[in-house]
Amino acid sequence: MPAGAMTAHAQIVLIAFALVAIAAIFELVRRRRLSERYALLWIVGWALVVVFAAVPRALVWVAAGLGIEDPRWALFVIFGVATLALLIYMSIALSRMHAHTIRLAQELALLRLERERDATPRAPSEPPRS
Amino acid sequence: MSERLLVIIPAWNEEGAVADVVHGLCSRLPDADVLVIDDGSDDRTACCAHGAGALVAQLPFNCGIGPALETGYRYAHRHGYPRLVHCDADGQHSPEVIEQLLECLDGGADFVIGTRFLEDDDPTDTARYRPSFSRRIGIALFSALVSRGSGTSVTDATSGARAAGPRAIQLFADEYGGDYPEFESVVRAARSGLKITQVQIRVLPRAAGRSSFTPLRSIFFVANGLLSIAAARLRPVRSA
């Protein structure tokens, strides 16, 4: 079997698996368990699996483009880089969420303080309401 | 008649000391408003502070020193305080220290840092602040880096006793800094064109509680501090 070739059986299994995965992601979006922005990422990923399963020669071309002789190594490299990129993206999303959470906590603390302060009049040195 | 003043005290599990700190401030500075920011304490910190006569802002969970101070700055900004001082809740900073900082602030500075290292090095003076060797190295390293990054001489970059005028309040109400904000804040203030001055202060041994540092945390602190200074130096600044 030449490099980059697959049996028809393997192709069908892989494509079927990818399509099921895409359907599952769509279902998660439909139930509002996954937001569109992240779902898109996964759908694109699985769509690429479909493409490479349908046209195994494509992997050989990609490998040649990357200057890698063995397409299996190209697959390994692409998978590794994509995984790292995804993790960085998740870290960014997590940082943003953390910042939002902190901001909400601060606003909550200030709101509660202002409500309590206004409910119980204090010394005349109290600042005027803005 | 001096201008209105807000004293902010970030506190995390400081029920043993916070009431005395608030009492001390209220009796020495009767015109000041004292705001304790309870950073998600598990103990009765908020209750003790409230009982002692302070305003209390309670963060619903532990957010860290930067976000806690930011909350205080934001309160000052929204309610139009022209002067703000922050000090530690553990009793290290006496009301005299606050007055020293204020004097410096009223002298025309935008941001005042209280330094614990006195110039007259008298080894018989038992009241002097004497950190452990490793901590002294750390403080010296960061003070040097912050001095370089800010273009002003800072000998105690980790000091928690600071005072801010209107320009600094506006700057820090937006953002004071992350988990370890002491360095970043100074670099940002300097790069935003604020006038920074230092004043020498005497600190007391902490009245209660323990330092939040452990060996592992110290390593994390150093790495985090280096990163935050580097990032603060390279970030674009909005003119204040």
B67-106 confidence digits (pLDDT tens): 999 999 999 999 999 999 999 888 888 889 999 999 999 9
pLDDT of residue B118: 63
Asked if B19 contacts B48 with a C-beta cutoff of 8 angstroms, the reply is yes
Q: With bands split at pLDDT 50, 70 and 90, how would you rate the model's confidence at B205?
A: confident
Q: With bands split at pLDDT 50, 70 and 90, how would you rate the model's confidence at A6?
A: confident
Q: With bands split at pLDDT 50, 70 and 90, how would you rate the model's confidence at A14?
A: very high
The whole-angstrom distance between B35's CA and the closest CA on chain A is: 10
pLDDT at B127 > cutoff 70? no
Residues of B with CB under 8 A from a CB of A: 4, 30-33, 35, 37, 55-61, 63-64, 67, 70-71, 74-75, 78-81
Which candidate from B58, B61, B70 shows the least CB-CB separation from A112? B58
Comparing alpha-carbon positions, the chain B residue that sits nearest to A101 is B63
Output A19 or B139, whichever has higher pLDDT: A19
Structure token pair of residue B67 = 């976000």
The whole-angstrom distance between B62's CA and the closest CA on chain A is: 9
Residues A91-116 have pLDDT tens digits of 999 999 999 999 999 999 999 999 98
pLDDT at A85 > cutoff 60? yes
> What average pLDDT score do residues B109-126 get?
75
Verify whether the Cβ–Cβ distance A130 to B79 is below 8 Å.
yes
pLDDT at A4 > cutoff 60? no
Best A104, A113, A116, A129 residue to mutate vs chain B (most B CBs within 10 Å): A113
> What average pLDDT score do residues A13-40 get?
95
Q: With bands split at pLDDT 50, 70 and 90, how would you rate the model's confidence at B1?
A: very low
> What average pLDDT score do residues A12-31 get?
96
Which residues does A9 contact at the CB level (< 8 Å), separation at least 6? none
A-chain CB neighbours of B71 within 8 Å are 106, 109-110
Q: With bands split at pLDDT 50, 70 and 90, how would you rate the model's confidence at B209?
A: low
Q: Flag whether the pTM goes above 0.90.
A: no
C-alpha–C-alpha distance, residues A39 and B195, integer Å: 49
B-chain CB neighbours of A120 within 8 Å are none
What are the φ/ψ torsions at residue A28 (nearest 5 degrees)? -65, -40
Residues B132-182 have pLDDT tens digits of 788 888 888 889 999 988 888 888 888 889 999 999 999 999 889 877 788
Residues of A with CB under 8 A from a CB of B: 102, 105-106, 108-110, 112-113, 117, 125-130
* Alpha-carbon distances, residue B240 vs A26, A43, B45, B159, B188 (angstroms): 47, 45, 35, 24, 10
> What average pLDDT score do residues B34-63 get?
95
Mean pLDDT of chain B: 88
Verify whether the Cβ–Cβ distance B78 to A110 is below 8 Å.
yes
C-alpha–C-alpha distance, residues A123 and A108, integer Å: 24
Please report where in the chains the tokens 């902490």 appear, as a residue.
B206
Verify whether the Cβ–Cβ distance A106 to B63 is below 8 Å.
yes
Asked if A112 contacts B58 with a C-beta cutoff of 8 angstroms, the reply is yes
Verify whether the Cβ–Cβ distance B58 to A113 is below 8 Å.
yes
Q: B197: left (phi > 0), else alpha (psi -120 to 50), else beta?
A: beta
Which candidate from B33, B56, B78 shows the least CB-CB separation from A125? B33
Mean pLDDT of chain A: 88
CB-neighbour burial class of residue B212 (10 A; exposed 0-12, middle 13-18, buried 19+) = exposed
pLDDT of residue A119: 85
Verify whether the Cβ–Cβ distance A127 to B74 is below 8 Å.
no
pLDDT at B227 > cutoff 80? yes
Which candidate from A106, A108, A112 shows the least CB-CB separation from B74? A106
Please report where in the chains the tokens 């937001």 appear, as a residue.
A35
Question: Per this entry, what is the length of chain A?
Answer: 130
Within a 10 A sphere around the Cβ of A105, how many other Cβ atoms? Answer: 21
pLDDT at A40 > cutoff 50? yes
Structure token pair of residue B224 = 């985090």
Verify whether the Cβ–Cβ distance B33 to A126 is below 8 Å.
yes
C-alpha–C-alpha distance, residues B146 and B150, integer Å: 6
The whole-angstrom distance between A69's CA and the closest CA on chain B is: 40
pLDDT at B213 > cutoff 60? yes
Comparing alpha-carbon positions, the chain A residue that sits nearest to B29 is A125
Verify whether the Cβ–Cβ distance A109 to B59 is below 8 Å.
yes
Q: With bands split at pLDDT 50, 70 and 90, how would you rate the model's confidence at B202?
A: confident
pLDDT of residue A2: 53
